């Protein structure tokens, strides 16, 4: 059995100015997350969404190389999005852009964390890069 590389990219996205109707539509968000995984060339293993009362949804798509998740606050037009991918072959940034466009985000603050980096002493660490963008 071959060992998988420990390195992965974890994107943390703060999406502002999103369409509140989309953020509280569990069926629409499920469709968006599934399509984002496909756009990002990720192999879907499991999908689960939960609708809170009175508002808000948490959703998770488990993919072969990790996950995509979203947590929404429709009353604030805000969504917290995570995309974590290990290995090669997928395109997490395409998945993120698809989600941002689909929820009609007006602004996004994105943090990219490269995780699972082994240092000289054999300990694991990570690096962090952040930027702001206005989705296309």
Task: Count H helices and E strands in the chain, helices first.
Answer: 3, 7
* Residue 64 annotated to the active site: no
Residue whose pair of structure tokens reads 């963008």 in the numeric block:
133
* Residue 71 annotated to the active site: yes
Are residues 13 and 96 in contact, defined by beta-carbon separation less than 8 angstroms?
Answer: yes
How far, in Å, CA of 14 to CA of 132, rounded?
9
Out of 58, 69, 71, 76, pick the active-site residue: 71
* Residue 67 annotated to the active site: no
Out of 86, 90, 109, 130, pick the active-site residue: 86
Out of 66, 67, 69, 126, pick the active-site residue: 66
In this structure, what are the phi and psi dihedrals at residue 97, rounded to the nearest 5 degrees?
-60, -40
C-alpha distance from residue 132 to each of 70, 72, 108 (Å): 18, 19, 6
In this structure, what are the phi and psi dihedrals at residue 134, rounded to the nearest 5 degrees?
-105, 115
The catalytic residues are 66, 71, 86
């Amino acid at each position: 059995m071959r060992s998988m590389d420990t390195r992965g990219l974890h994107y943390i996205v703060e999406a502002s100015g999103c369409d509140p109707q989309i953020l509280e539509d569990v069926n629409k968000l499920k469709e968006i997350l599934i399509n984002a995984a496909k756009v990002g060339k990720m192999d879907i293993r499991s999908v689960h969404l939960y609708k809170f009362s009175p508002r808000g949804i948490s959703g998770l798509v488990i993919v072969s190389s990790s996950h995509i998740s979203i947590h929404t606050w429709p009353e604030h037009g805000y969504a917290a999005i995570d995309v974590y991918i290990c290995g090669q072959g997928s395109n997490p940034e395409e998945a993120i852009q698809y989600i941002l466009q689909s929820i009609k985000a007006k602004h996004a603050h994105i943090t990219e964390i490269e995780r699972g980096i082994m240092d000289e002493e054999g300990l694991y660490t990570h690096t962090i890069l952040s930027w702001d963008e206005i989705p296309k």
